[in-house]
Amino acid sequence: MAHEIVLGDTTYISSKRAAEITGYAQDYIGQLARAGKIIARRIGGLWYVLEESLNNYKAVAELYVATPPRMDDSYASASKVADTLISFDGKEYVSASEAARQTAYHQDYIGQLARTGRILSKQVGARWFVELKGLRAHKAEKDALLAAVQRESVGLVRPAKSGPDADNYKVHFTYTADERELLPSLLRKDASGSNIQQDAAELEHVIPIRIVRVPQNPATSSYSARSATRSVRLRVRKPLYYGSLSAVLVTVVIVIAFHINILNAVPIFANTNKSGVLKNTALAGIIMNVAADFADLAHELLGNKVIYNRGSYKPDF
């Protein structure tokens, strides 16, 4: 970038070069050029100013001395009071800076008291306003405590106060020393082990239990393991081979003969039936009945039987 450019017979310098010569900021020189306070040309987005015009502006600017506006004394005092004193709920609050000036406390300490709520305070924006009366009471209390500590440190003891108000200074609590161990003490094991055996013997309790043994019958067994109130006696009948067989044969002969007689006594309409179907049907039914009776009798005489007799059992204990 060229620091100088010639337009006609006039030489212009760049704003960067002008800032180096005059000590102004480059943006400020651009602002002066846009406002028309100095002679300048804008070429390709850059400002080129006339060095003589910029020097004349700088000379005039250095002659100007800024003076702050004067304020009336009454207005200033009223503004100062309004800035440091507010009233809220009938109580006056002063700013932390004013409270620090009156109590000789540091302003940060007063802000700490206000944040912790140890004194009445109000926060307005970023500023703390505290009640001056409460702050003075806090200061008096701390000063008295500091005086007592200093007095005791040099050996000066305040005489005991006597009278009706003397009890107000007594402590209304009773303190007792607790010197117990934090961890429970464990019993040490004796080398002989006599103490442990003695303790174990003291913990043992012998309880006598009476056991009544009931004689068991081979033909009797318990029906229920949970309930001992009932028992079942089993009696096995031995099969009768020869005598039973003869009795069965005699019975079969008698039953067959009886049914044959019944068959001969069939009604007339059954005898007059030419086809003999009804007669044959009756004969088949009789034979089936005889066979069923024979099977029942044989099962009763020849088969093994288990007879269950319900009885009562009472435990003897």
CB 128: neighbour CB atoms within 10 A?
22
Same domain (yes/no): 267, 302: yes
126 lies in some domain: yes
Same domain (yes/no): 248, 293: yes
| CA nearest to 135, candidates 169, 90, 104 | 104
Say if CB 48 and CB 12 are below 8 A apart. Answer: yes
Same domain (yes/no): 58, 84: no
Q: What pLDDT is recorded for position 243?
A: 61
Provide the number of structural domains found in the chain: 3
Say if CB 60 and CB 29 are below 8 A apart. Answer: no
Same domain (yes/no): 56, 83: no
Strand order in the sheet with 4-7: 4-7, 10-14, 46-49, 40-43
The model's pTM? 0.28
Q: What pLDDT is recorded for position 229?
A: 43
Domain boundary, last residue among 87, 105, 138? 138
8 lies in some domain: yes
Domain boundary, last residue among 101, 123, 138? 138
219 lies in some domain: no
Same domain (yes/no): 299, 255: yes
Structural domain range at position 277: 242-312
Same domain (yes/no): 18, 45: yes
What is the maximum alpha-carbon separation in the chain? 172
3-state secondary structure the chain: CCCEEEECCEEEEEHHHHHHHHCCCHHHHHHHHHHCCCCEEEECCEEEECHHHHHHHHHHHHHCCCCCCCCCHHHHHHHHHHHHEEEECCEEEEEHHHHHHHHCCCHHHHHHHHHHCCCCEEEECCEEEEEHHHHHHHHHHHHHHHHHHHHHHCCCCCCCCCCCCHHHHCCCCCCCCCCCCCCCCCCCCCCCCHHHHHHHHHHCCCCCCCCCCCCCCCCEECCCCCCCCEEEEEEECCCCCHHHHHHHHHHHHHHHHHHHHHHHCCCHHHHCCCCCHHHHHHHHHHHHHHHHHHHHHHHHHHCCCEEEEEEECCCCC
Domain boundary, last residue among 138, 162, 180? 138
47 lies in some domain: yes
205 lies in some domain: no
118 lies in some domain: yes
Same domain (yes/no): 57, 99: no
Same domain (yes/no): 54, 85: no
Tokens read off for 142: 């701390």
The CA–CA distances, whole Å, from 225 to 219, 221, 231 equal: 17, 10, 10
215 lies in some domain: no
Same domain (yes/no): 31, 93: no
17 lies in some domain: yes
Could you report the average pLDDT of every consecutive run of 10 residues in the chain (317 residues)? 77 87 87 88 85 87 72 51 69 85 86 87 84 87 85 69 55 74 70 56 69 64 44 48 65 71 53 51 70 74 62 53
123 phi and psi angles, rounded to 5 deg: -105, 120
Q: Which CATH number covers residue 22?
A: 1.10.1660
Beta-carbon contacts of 233 under 8 Å, excluding residues fewer than 6 positions away, are: 217, 219, 220, 308, 309, 311
| CA nearest to 17, candidates 58, 53, 41, 48 | 48
Residue the block writes with tokens 């007063």: 110
